[in-house]
Amino acid sequence: MAHPVPIQFRDPDLEALASLPGRIVILAGEGGALGPGAKRVNKLMRGAVERYVASDAFAKMKQGDAQDLAWPAGLAADAVQVVRLDKRADVTTARKAGGSIGAKLGKAGTTVLADGLLRAADLSFGLVLRAYEFTAHKTGEHTPPGPVTFMVAGPEAVAAAASPLAALAEGVFFTRDLVNEPANILTTDDFAARLAAMQELGLEVEILEEADLTKLGMGALLGVGQGSESPSKVVVMQWNGGPKDQPPFALVGKGVVFDTGGISIKPAGGMEEMTMDMGGAGVVSGVMRTLALRGAKANVVGLVGIVENMPDGKAIRPGDVLTSMKGDTIEVINTDAEGRLVLADVMWYAQERFKPSGMINLATLTGAIIVALGHENTGVFSNNDALCNAFLKAAAAEGEGAWRMPMGEAYDAKLKSRIADMMNVGGRDGGAITAAQFLARFVKPEVPWCHLDIAGTALLKSDTALAPKGATGWGVMALNRLIKDMYEG
């Protein structure tokens, strides 16, 4: 498993700067303002930093951007990285600046002269998130980055502020590892085993096997998995850190470890990307890990439906009718619209068993949400304005893009079937919305609910400020904050 790079926080030591190995990071604020550490570096470099911050190049930099001054005269370091960041920068900007540092960590170590930066803990958090690497399948030597040291005023207070963020980073990394993992490694068995291992953290983890799911009547979920050699499962993770009588909040994730489309098979080009189709389950798992690691004072239950969608002699066909746990029958028009079949049963089970105070499901559900929103925002669908707005607020505070989409009866009508209670697809137009309408049929009216379609945000083809290309872990931070906002004052 990938773990966050450890960071040491210590008092500034200006005398040590000339002989530090590796990389030195300095911050330059509005008008090129330098703190005491940066000033000392400038002096050792005979004014090179001052010349840089007076240049047009610096003037064009945005807050959080960085520039390397390589092989600096007067220092033993390999490079001085100048990060444009104001002393009073907000959380998002400080994290972005940290990302600029984390993208370029050196093997010989990195010393960050944070001087009097107010958001030093967020700077370190951004650094950690961006420094993530998925190296599980790279052979040959892989040298991790050298030690990272923050020289900062009041290092104890900064370290204390960084500690809950470390739990958050562990959750994000857990999600990214799961989403990046190929499907021959992350089989349904392997996924469930990784979740069962979280019992060590104090989570209560149960694995429901196919026999249990049959007994529960989960015909929709089982239908999706019946063409695979890997057994379908539902994993239930409970974190009970809140008052005994408080009903839990439920998080439900789509965990399709590989989506070929089934008999309605997908085109070959790009199909490899469908190793990420367990992204919803990955986020739920990462949030549960964070809640446990930071000892959240809330009751939260995470449920994931883990299946593989394969074409086979035993696979479901277009035209088949499945009976869901709720009892509603579903005509399968397209076996590639499988995620909603999985979620329908897990969401129904979550409500029947736990009577949750609210429920949020996450899924890489539709290509249509990518057409609508691109890769910048997750599509948010909801039956409850208060929950939806609370989520959007939490996502904005964490810098995770989220945009509410419409729902309504006219969309629901598209799901009408000639021979069953509903079809599993509603046509091409508004495909992300009709998918949400399908899910809504499995939500009890009294349960506040949001559906997050993360097909466009779970995995990216290019680097971002806080993640290298690949799995992003989108949603772990927003959901962790939402739980905190709702239950932890």
Of 203 and 415, the one with the shorter C-beta distance to ligand BES is 415
Tell me if 259 is assigned to a ligand binding site: yes
Q: How far apart are CA 286 and CA 291, in angstroms?
A: 9
Residue 334 site contact among ligand BES, Mn ion, Zn ion, none (CB < 5 to 8 Å, cut-off depends on kind): ligand BES
Stretch that binds Mn ion, among 86-94, 209-217, 252-260, 469-477 (CB under 5 A): 252-260
As a whole number of Å, the end-to-end CA separation of the chain is 32
Minimal distance in Å, beta carbon 273 to Mn ion?
12
Of 14 and 265, the one with the shorter C-beta distance to Mn ion is 265
Residues with Cβ within 8 Å of 155's Cβ and at least 6 positions away in sequence, in order, are 9, 10, 11
Q: How far apart are CA 154 and CA 249, in angstroms?
A: 37
Residue 106 site contact among Mn ion, ligand BES, Zn ion, none (CB < 5 to 8 Å, cut-off depends on kind): none
Q: Between the CA of residue 191 and those of 133, 141, 185, 273, what are the distances in Å?
A: 20, 27, 9, 18
Stretch that binds Zn ion, among 99-107, 208-216, 339-347, 354-362 (CB under 5 A): 339-347
* Sole binder of ligand BES in the list 105, 114, 281, 425 (CB under 6 A): 425
Question: Is residue 400 close enough to count as binding Zn ion by CB under 5 A?
Answer: no
Total number of residues that touch Mn ion (CB under 5 A): 3
Minimal distance in Å, beta carbon 461 to Zn ion?
18
Tell me if 277 is assigned to a ligand binding site: yes
Q: How far apart are CA 205 and CA 221, in angstroms?
A: 20
Running DSSP on this structure, what letter comes out for residue 40? H
Token readout for 264 is 């309605």
Residue 367 site contact among ligand BES, Zn ion, Mn ion, none (CB < 5 to 8 Å, cut-off depends on kind): ligand BES
Q: Between the CA of residue 343 and those of 101, 256, 311, 428, what are the distances in Å?
A: 39, 10, 20, 20
Q: Where are the beta strands (DSSP E) in 324-458?
A: 329-331, 358-363, 378-382, 402-404, 422-423, 449-453
**Nearest-CB residue for ligand BES:** 367
Q: Which long-range contacts (CB under 8 A, 24 or more apart) does 159-162 make?
A: 159/9, 161/120, 161/121, 162/7, 162/9, 162/121, 162/124, 162/125
Token readout for 483 is 């739980």
Question: Is residue 337 close enough to count as binding ligand BES by CB under 6 A?
Answer: yes
Confirm if 368 and 427 have CB atoms less than 8 A apart: no
Stretch that binds Zn ion, among 211-219, 252-260, 370-378, 409-417 (CB under 5 A): 252-260
Question: Is residue 122 close enough to count as binding ligand BES by CB under 6 A?
Answer: no
Count of C-beta atoms within a 10 Å radius of residue 450: 24
Of 288 and 332, the one with the shorter C-beta distance to Mn ion is 332
Of 78 and 336, the one with the shorter C-beta distance to Mn ion is 336
Of 267 and 489, the one with the shorter C-beta distance to ligand BES is 267
Token readout for 297 is 């004072």
Question: Is residue 339 close enough to count as binding ligand BES by CB under 6 A?
Answer: yes
Tell me if 115 is assigned to a ligand binding site: no
* Sole binder of Zn ion in the list 177, 259, 400, 412 (CB under 5 A): 259
Minimal distance in Å, beta carbon 343 to ligand BES?
11
Residues with Cβ within 8 Å of 459's Cβ and at least 6 positions away in sequence, in order, are 179, 273, 276, 279, 470, 471, 472
Question: Of residues 363-402, which lie at the interface with ligand BES (CB under 6 A)?
Answer: 364-368
Residues with Cβ within 8 Å of 298's Cβ and at least 6 positions away in sequence, in order, are 239, 241, 242, 246, 249, 291, 483, 484, 486, 487, 488
Tell me if 338 is assigned to a ligand binding site: yes
Q: Where in the sequence numbering do the catalytic residues fall?
A: 266, 340
Helix (H, G, I), strand (E, B) or coil at 85: coil
Tell me if 96 is assigned to a ligand binding site: no
Q: How far apart are CA 232 and CA 36, in angstroms?
A: 59
Minimal distance in Å, beta carbon 265 to ligand BES?
10
Question: Is residue 277 close enough to count as binding Zn ion by CB under 5 A?
Answer: yes
Question: Of residues 325-364, which lie at the interface with Mn ion (CB under 5 A)?
Answer: 336, 338
Question: Is residue 277 close enough to count as binding ligand BES by CB under 6 A?
Answer: yes
Question: Of residues 230-259, which lie at the interface with ligand BES (CB under 6 A)?
Answer: 259
Running DSSP on this structure, what letter comes out for residue 271? G
Pick out the residues of the known binding site for Mn(2+).
254, 259, 277, 336, 338
Residues that bind Mn ion (CB under 5 A): 259, 336, 338
Residues that bind ligand BES (CB under 6 A): 259, 277, 334, 336-339, 364-368, 425, 431, 455
